[in-house]
Structure 1
Amino acid sequence: MASSSSLLAARAVRPLALITGARRGIGAGIAAELARQGFDLALLDIAEDGADQVLAAAEAHGARAGFWQYDLADSGAHRALVERIVVACGPIACLVNNAGVSADARGDLLELGERSYDKVIDINMRGTFFFTQAVARHMAEHTHPAQHARTIVTVSSVSAELASTERGEYCMSKAGLGMLTKLFALRLAPLNIGVFEIRPGIIRTPMTEAVAARHDERIADGVVPMRRWGVPADVAAAVAALASGQMQFATGSVLNIDGALSVPRL
């Protein structure tokens, strides 16, 4: 199902960024920042709640913005959705893979069940891979009319590297996104399409609200050397820097947005 603003009336003049998981938290922050930096937006999420506010914030920065309600796990429909977005909005200059889910519950790795494992892998890894493939095919076949830089940025997590036995399925899904970045960086480098991975640390979002008290204690104890929560704007600033094309020769790189959480210490 699709609903949109004036975006549907005319093709975008500004470069188009397609953002998954865009209606709240980090995704909403990325949408606002890319709109401020001169992008038009195609926003995707599994639910509509909150999408109107994100669209309004983008349009306040002069962007044309449209929203599509979509389940990333429905990989068989990816190519058709990308085609619909391109028809409505024009060629895609930037893909931001931000959609993802956490484990159903934290628990003993020896008790991890297939239901939570399958859900997390289907969305975070399988869905993201095949959606990236669909967008990459579009990018390989088309160039942006303004010759704007073309980029793919995947928002994963420090959990791609830092293991948590209480969330095994989540960690494995995020580690897989690290390899996804390397593979697409190699495949798309001859086309000058930059592919990057961003690994946020402890970011204050609706997803982390349930464990906020625990993170408050850990941050106070120094697990994050900068001794503060990250916020969506921290991640959004990094995405915008990569989407601008100024770091294209760094394709395949990982950027940690975590206040030095992931730096090894003695």
Structure 2
Amino acid sequence: MTQKVILVTGSSRGIGLGVLKKHAALGYAVVMSSSSGGEKAAEAMEELKAYGVPAAYVKCDISKSADRQAALDFVLGRHGRIDVLVNNAGVAPLARMNILETTEESFDRLMDINLKGTFFMNQLFANAMISLQQQGLPDYSPRIINIGSISAYTASTNRGEYCISKAGIAMVTALFAAELGGHGIPVFEIRPGITKTDMTRTVEGKYNKFIFEDDGIPTKRWGLPEDIGEAAAALSGGAFDYSTGQVINVDGGFHIRRL
């Protein structure tokens, strides 16, 4: 049986690492990617190697064209195929500022990484997937998954640039799902809710109150990286291919309108 290959951007920790671990457990060859590498990436690689599958790391700042191309070249050079691309890389503002004070520098940084980077990763890898199909690669049914956020529709006026970048990812997903449908390449968005990661650690107290005291989440618990990993595995496994373009909410029911 052909071993499938997954690349997850921003995967040296948090949600991205959770997605990689789930796929490693399913027998995928896994490629970790982040913009910085370092000790975190090295520790995560050791965790992935314990699954007994091929595991590799490629440095990639998705806001840079050369890095995006280098990541694709690395995966194809090493494995000769890419079955699943998960666009998870993203950043929060360096400082939370009200939208009346947000700087152009902060706005541009988030758009370059979260939105532009994700768009052009979709474009680059979609073209590669089409090419591999045309070459007649055996047992090949590629898929793309973009990691969005409940911030796509939840207004946080102290980090508006983040919300806008995530709202843009929803349209990126719709556009590529529409374009690639005829090629048999499904594209999905997973929309995590309040998830316990490094990004949310600084506001843990605020979210604990929201979840456990204010009844903000119907399931009354934090989301975990493995929750997103389970959803990604369902999508990459092909069970939802006819639902291309679909948004999968992994948010404990946050999206439910309640009175």
Q: What range describes the TM-score normalised by the shorter chain of this pair?
A: over 0.9
Check whether the contact 2:58–2:74 (CA below 8 A) recurs between aligned residues: no
Number of the residue aligned with 1:169? 161
Number of the residue aligned with 2:17? 28
Number of the residue aligned with 2:198? 206
How far, CA to CA, are the matches of 1:219 and 1:234 in structure 2? 17
* 1:179 alignment partner AA: M
* 1:57 alignment partner AA: E
1:114 aligns with 2:107: no
- 2:50 pairs, out of 38, 48, 60, with 60
Number of the residue aligned with 1:87? 77
- 2:7 pairs, out of 18, 22, 31, with 18
How far, CA to CA, are the matches of 2:80 and 2:51 in structure 1? 19
1:152 aligns with 2:144: yes
How far, CA to CA, are the matches of 2:257 and 2:246 in structure 1? 19
How far, CA to CA, are the matches of 1:195 and 1:180 in structure 2? 10
- 2:27 pairs, out of 23, 28, 38, with 38
In terms of mean alpha carbon deviation, does 83-92 or 238-247 score higher?
83-92
Number of residues paired by the alignment? 255
**CA spacing shift, 1:76–1:91, aligned 2, 3 Å:** same
Check whether the contact 2:193–2:249 (CA below 8 A) recurs between aligned residues: yes
How far, CA to CA, are the matches of 1:206 and 1:37 in structure 2? 26
Q: What's the secondary structure of 1:262's corresponding residue?
A: coil
Check whether the contact 2:193–2:250 (CA below 8 A) recurs between aligned residues: yes
Q: CA deviation at 1:81?
A: 3.2
How far, CA to CA, are the matches of 2:150 and 2:81 in structure 1? 31
Report sequence identity in percent: 39
How far, CA to CA, are the matches of 1:63 and 1:132 in structure 2? 25
How far, CA to CA, are the matches of 2:245 and 2:44 in structure 1? 29
Q: What's the secondary structure of 2:83's corresponding residue?
A: strand
Q: CA RMSD in A?
A: 1.5
How far, CA to CA, are the matches of 2:21 and 2:205 in structure 1? 28
- Residues 166-225 of structure 1: CA deviation (Å, up to 9, x unaligned): 110000000000000000001111111110000000000111100001101111211111
1:191 aligns with 2:180: no
Q: CA deviation at 1:97?
A: 0.4
